[in-house]
Structure 1
Amino acid sequence: MAVGLVISAPASGVGKTTLTLALARAWRHRGLNVQCFKSGPDYIDPAFHAAATGRASVNVDSWAMDRGTIAHLVSRGADADVVLAEGSMGLFDGVAARGVCGTGATADIAEMLGWPVLLVIDPSGQAQTAAAIAAGLRDYRAGVRLAGVVLNRVASPRHEDLVRRALNDAGIAVFGALPRHAEISLPKRHLGLVQAEEQAEIGKLIDEAARFVAEHVDLDAVLRSAAGWSPRPAADGLNVVPPGQRIALARDAAFSFVYPHMLEAWRAAGAEIVPFSPLADETPDASADVCWLPGGYPELHAGRIAANARFREGLRAFAETRPVHGECGGYMVLGAALTDADGIRHEMTDLLGLETSFAKRRMHLGYRLATLAAPMPGHRAGARLRGHEFHYSTILAQPDTPLAVVHDATGAIIAETGSLRGHVSGTFFHLIAEDR
C-alpha cells in the first residue's frame, strides 16, 4: 500500500517545488518508489518531478477535471511506495467560481484524496506569527488535515527556536527547519522555473537538495505522517480524442508547454506522436495527418524561427491539406508576426493574421472555458473545452474568424477568442480537458 501526502504552503515562492524534489530523491535513495503529481495548471514542474523520481508526473486539476479523470490519473501511483502531490500557489487559492469539482485549489485535491498536507512555511521577517498562519490554514476547512510543517529559510538558531516553540504551543508538528542555502535555488524566468530539460546540472542540484533536506528534516516522521492509500480503480479513462492518428508535434526549447496527461491520453487512444524541432529547421512529418504546435518560449527564439525558412515553408505546405493547431506560443508562431521584448518585429509563418508583441508586457493569466464555434483537431463544434492561459504578450491584431466564445473563471467573456483560417486554428489557452 502506498502512502500519500500533499505538499503546500501559504503562498507561491516559499519552496514547495524544492522540498518536493528533495523528499522524492531522498526517499528514492532509500530504495522507495516515489510518484509525484502537480495540482493545478503547471506544465513545468512535472518535468522536475520526473527528473527526481524517474517516473512521469501529471497534473490533476479540480476546476478543469472531473473526479473520474482525477482518479484515473492518480491511479498510476498504485505501485509506488510514496505518492506526493505538489500544490500550486497557497493551499486554499483557487478561483471564485467552482469548476467541474472544485475551484482549482490544492485543498480540493487533499480533501478528495484524503491525504494530509505538509506545509512549507517561510518565516522570514516574522516569528510567532508563522504559527498563527499555520494554525489558520489547519482550521480553515474541516475536510483538509494538516500533517505538520517544514520551515524554510530560517535566519538563525534563535529564529528557529522562536518559531518552533510557537508551533508546538499550537499543537503543530515541526518536521524540520532549513537554513538559507543558495546551492539548491532553482533558476527562474518570466513564466516560472527554467525548464528541467534546459538545466544540464539538474540531477546534481536535486541530489544536493536531497542531501540538505535529509540533514535538516526528519524524513521518517514525515513518512509516518502520510496517509495509507489504495486507489480505487477508475471507472473510465480520460475523455480525450486525439487530434489525429499520426500527430506531428513541435517539440524543442521554444515549444515545450504541453500537459503530460494529454500526450499520454493521445497515445492511449492509439495515436502516434512524431516530434519535430522548428528551432532545428525541421518540418512536420510528411506522413502525419495533423500538426500540433504547443506553447513555450517562441519570444526567446523569434529571430531564429523567422530565419528558418525550411520550417516555415514546410508548415505552410502541410497546412494546405491538413489541420494545424497552435496553443499560446504555438498560436503566436502561426500568426503573421511576433515583436520581441526589444521591440524587434519578426515575421512568423503567416498562416493566421495574429500579431503579438512582448515589447509592452501584459500578463494574461487564468482558467478558460471555451465553447467551440467551429471544429478543431480532436473536438467538434459546440464542445466545451477547459484550459488555462498564461503569457505576457499584447495582442496587436487578431483578424481571423473566431474559433470559440471564451469565458474566464468568473463567466466573463474575454477577447482572446482564438482564430480559424482554413485548416489552421489556434488558441491562447492550453487545453486541459473537455467537459464530458
Structure 2
Amino acid sequence: MAASFVISAPASGVGKTTLTLALARAWRNRGLNVQCFKSGPDYIDPAFHAAATGRASVNVDSWAMDRSTIAHLVSRAADADVVLAEGSMGLFDGVATRGVSGTGATADIAEMLGWPVVLLIDPSGQAQTAAAIAAGLRDYRAGVRLGGVVLNRVASPRHEDLVRRALNEAGIKVFGALPRHAEISLPKRHLGLVQAEEQAEIGKLIDEAARFVAEHVDLDAVLHAAGKWSPQAVANGLNVRPPGQRIALARDAAFSFVYPHMLEAWRAAGAEIVPFSPLADEVPDASADVCWLPGGYPELHAGKIAGNARFRSGLRAFAETRPVHGECGGYMVLGAGLTDADGIRHEMTGLLGLETSFAKRRMHLGYRLAELAAPMPGHKPGARLRGHEFHYSTILAQPDTPLAVVHDATGAVIAETGSRRGHATGTFFHLIAEGR
C-alpha cells in the first residue's frame, strides 16, 4: 500500500508546486517510487511532476470526470511507494455548480480517495492567525482530513515559533517551516509557470528544492501521517475517443497544452500519434488521417509561425482532404490572423476566419460544457464535451459556422462557440472528457 496525500493551500501562489516537486524528488532520492497527480485542469504542472519523479503524471478533475474515470487514472500508482496529488487554487475552491462528480475543488479528490491533506501555509504578515486559517480549513468539511501543515516563507525563528505554538495549541501537526529561499523560485508567465521543457536547468532546480525541503521538513513525519492507499478495481477505463487512427500532433514550445491522459487514452484505443513541429517548419505526416493542434503559446511565436511557409501551406494541403482540429492556441493558428501584444498582426493559416488579438488582453477562464452542432474529430454531432478554457486573447472576428453550443460552469451560454469550415474545426476550450 502506498503512502498517499494531497498537497493543498488556502490560496494560489503559496508554493504548492515547488513543495510537491521537492517532496517527490526527496523521496525518489531515497529510492522510493513516487507517483504524482494534478487536481484540476492544469496542463503545465504534470510535466514538472514527471521531471521530478521520472513517471508520467496525469490530471484528475471532479467537475469533468466521473468517479470511475478518476479511479482508473489513479490506478497507475499501483506500484508506487508514495502518491502525491497537487491541488489547484485553495483547498475548497471550485465552481458554484456541481459537475460530474464534484465542483472541481481539490477537496473533492481528497475526500473521494480518502487521502489526507498536507496544507502549505504562507504566514507572511501574520502569526497566530495562520493557525485560525488552518483550523478553519480542517473543520470546514467533515470528509476531508488534515494530516498536517508545512509553513512557507517564514520571516525569522521568532516568527516560526509564534506560528508553531498556535498550531500546536489547535492540535495541528507542523511538519516543518521553510524560510524564504529565492533560488528555488519557478519562473512564471501569463498562463502560469514557464513550461518544464523550456527550462534547461529544471533538474538542478528541483534538486535544490529537494535539498532545501529535506533540511527543513520532517519527511518521515509526513510519511507517517499519510494515508495508506491501494487502487480499487475499475470496470471501465477512460471515456475518450481518439480523433483518428494515425494522428499528426503539433508538438513544440508553441503547441504543448494537451492533457497527458488524453494522449494515453488515444494510444490505449489503438491510435498512433505522430508529432511534428510547426516552429521547425514541419508539416503533418502525409500518412496521418487527422491533424490535431493543441494550445500553447502561439502569441509568443506568432512571427515565426507566420514566416514558416512550408508549415502553413502543408497544413492547408492536408486540410483539403482530412480533418484538422485546433484547441485554443491551435484554434488561433487555424484562423486568419493573430495580433500580438505589440499590436502587430501576423497572418495565420487561414483555414478558419477567426481573428484574435493580444493587444487588448482579456482573460477567459473556466470550465466549459459543449454540445456539438457538427462533428469534430473523434466526436459526433450532439456529443457533450467537458473541457476548460484559459487564455488572454480577444476575439475580433469569429465568422465561420459555430461548432457547438458552449456553456460555462453555471450553465450560461458563452460566445466562444468554436468554428467549422470544410475539414477544419476549432475550439477555445481544451477537451478533458466526454460526458453528461
- Quote the Cα distance in structure 2 between the aligned partners of 1:22 and 1:234: 31
Q: Secondary structure at the match of 1:27?
A: helix
Q: Secondary structure at the match of 2:28?
A: helix
Displacement of 1:234 in angstroms is 1.2
Q: Secondary structure at the match of 1:102?
A: coil
Instruction: Tell me the alpha carbon deviations over residues 184-204 of structure 1, each in whole angstroms, 9 at most, x when there is no partner.
Output: 000000000000000000000
- Quote the Cα distance in structure 2 between the aligned partners of 1:3 and 1:120: 18
- Quote the Cα distance in structure 2 between the aligned partners of 1:236 and 1:369: 22
- Quote the Cα distance in structure 2 between the aligned partners of 1:95 and 1:241: 27
Write the mapping of 1:302-341 to structure 2, written as runs, cut at 5 A.
302-341=302-341
- Quote the Cα distance in structure 2 between the aligned partners of 1:341 and 1:411: 32
Q: Specify every segment of 5 or more residues in structure 1 that has no aligned partner in the other structure, as ranges.
A: none
Displacement of 1:162 in angstroms is 0.5
Q: Secondary structure at the match of 2:74?
A: helix
- Quote the Cα distance in structure 2 between the aligned partners of 1:69 and 1:282: 35
- Quote the Cα distance in structure 1 between the aligned partners of 2:164 and 2:118: 15
- Quote the Cα distance in structure 2 between the aligned partners of 1:39 and 1:105: 8
- Quote the Cα distance in structure 2 between the aligned partners of 1:296 and 1:360: 19
Displacement of 1:431 in angstroms is 0.2
Instruction: Tell me the alpha carbon deviations over residues 116-161 of structure 1, each in whole angstroms, 9 at most, x when there is no partner.
Output: 0000000001110000000000000000000000000000000000
Q: Secondary structure at the match of 1:361?
A: coil
- Quote the Cα distance in structure 2 between the aligned partners of 1:230 and 1:429: 34
Instruction: Tell me the alpha carbon deviations over residues 292-333 of structure 1, each in whole angstroms, 9 at most, x when there is no partner.
Output: 000000000000000000000000000000000000000000
- Quote the Cα distance in structure 2 between the aligned partners of 1:145 and 1:67: 19
Q: Secondary structure at the match of 2:164?
A: helix
Residue number in structure 2 paired with 1:207: 207
- Quote the Cα distance in structure 2 between the aligned partners of 1:120 and 1:260: 26
- The TM-score normalised by the length of structure 2 is 1.00
Displacement of 1:3 in angstroms is 1.5
Instruction: Tell me the alpha carbon deviations over residues 204-253 of structure 1, each in whole angstroms, 9 at most, x when there is no partner.
Output: 00000000000000000000010111111211100111000000000000
Write the mapping of 1:12-411 to structure 2, written as runs, cut at 5 A.
12-411=12-411
Displacement of 1:415 in angstroms is 0.1
Instruction: Tell me the alpha carbon deviations over residues 381-408 of structure 1, each in whole angstroms, 9 at most, x when there is no partner.
Output: 0000000000000000000000000000
- Quote the Cα distance in structure 2 between the aligned partners of 1:262 and 1:101: 19
Instruction: Tell me the alpha carbon deviations over residues 246-280 of structure 1, each in whole angstroms, 9 at most, x when there is no partner.
Output: 00000000000000000000000000000000000
Q: Secondary structure at the match of 1:213?
A: helix
Q: Secondary structure at the match of 2:78?
A: helix
- Quote the Cα distance in structure 2 between the aligned partners of 1:333 and 1:115: 41
- Quote the Cα distance in structure 1 between the aligned partners of 2:68 and 2:433: 12
Displacement of 1:103 in angstroms is 0.0
Q: Secondary structure at the match of 1:416?
A: coil
Q: Secondary structure at the match of 1:43?
A: coil
- Quote the Cα distance in structure 2 between the aligned partners of 1:189 and 1:230: 37
Displacement of 1:36 in angstroms is 0.1
Q: Secondary structure at the match of 2:433?
A: strand
Displacement of 1:80 in angstroms is 0.2
- Quote the Cα distance in structure 1 between the aligned partners of 2:208 and 2:227: 27
- Quote the Cα distance in structure 1 between the aligned partners of 2:319 and 2:165: 65
Instruction: Tell me the alpha carbon deviations over residues 356-392 of structure 1, each in whole angstroms, 9 at most, x when there is no partner.
Output: 0000000000000000000100001000000000000
- Quote the Cα distance in structure 1 between the aligned partners of 2:4 and 2:108: 15
Instruction: Tell me the alpha carbon deviations over residues 392-435 of structure 1, each in whole angstroms, 9 at most, x when there is no partner.
Output: 00000000000000000000000000000010000000000001
- Quote the Cα distance in structure 2 between the aligned partners of 1:180 and 1:235: 47
Q: Secondary structure at the match of 1:326?
A: strand
Instruction: Tell me the alpha carbon deviations over residues 85-144 of structure 1, each in whole angstroms, 9 at most, x when there is no partner.
Output: 000000000000000000000000000000000000000011100000000000000000
- Quote the Cα distance in structure 1 between the aligned partners of 2:61 and 2:368: 13
Displacement of 1:14 in angstroms is 0.2
- Quote the Cα distance in structure 2 between the aligned partners of 1:186 and 1:194: 8
Q: Secondary structure at the match of 1:79?
A: coil
- Quote the Cα distance in structure 2 between the aligned partners of 1:234 and 1:90: 29
Q: Secondary structure at the match of 2:311?
A: helix
Q: Cα RMSD (Å) of the superposition?
A: 0.4
- Quote the Cα distance in structure 2 between the aligned partners of 1:407 and 1:240: 20
- Quote the Cα distance in structure 1 between the aligned partners of 2:152 and 2:291: 44
Displacement of 1:166 in angstroms is 0.4
Number of aligned positions between the proteins:
436
Q: Which runs of 4+ in 1 moved over 2 A?
A: none
Instruction: Tell me the alpha carbon deviations over residues 7-26 of structure 1, each in whole angstroms, 9 at most, x when there is no partner.
Output: 00000000100000000000
- Quote the Cα distance in structure 2 between the aligned partners of 1:182 and 1:199: 17
- Quote the Cα distance in structure 1 between the aligned partners of 2:28 and 2:234: 27
Q: Secondary structure at the match of 2:132?
A: helix
Q: Secondary structure at the match of 1:248?
A: strand
- Quote the Cα distance in structure 2 between the aligned partners of 1:235 and 1:76: 15
Q: Specify every segment of 5 or more residues in structure 2 that has no aligned partner in the other structure, as ranges.
A: none
- The TM-score normalised by the length of structure 1 is 1.00
Q: Percent identity?
A: 92
Instruction: Tell me the alpha carbon deviations over residues 40-68 of structure 1, each in whole angstroms, 9 at most, x when there is no partner.
Output: 00000000000000000000000000001
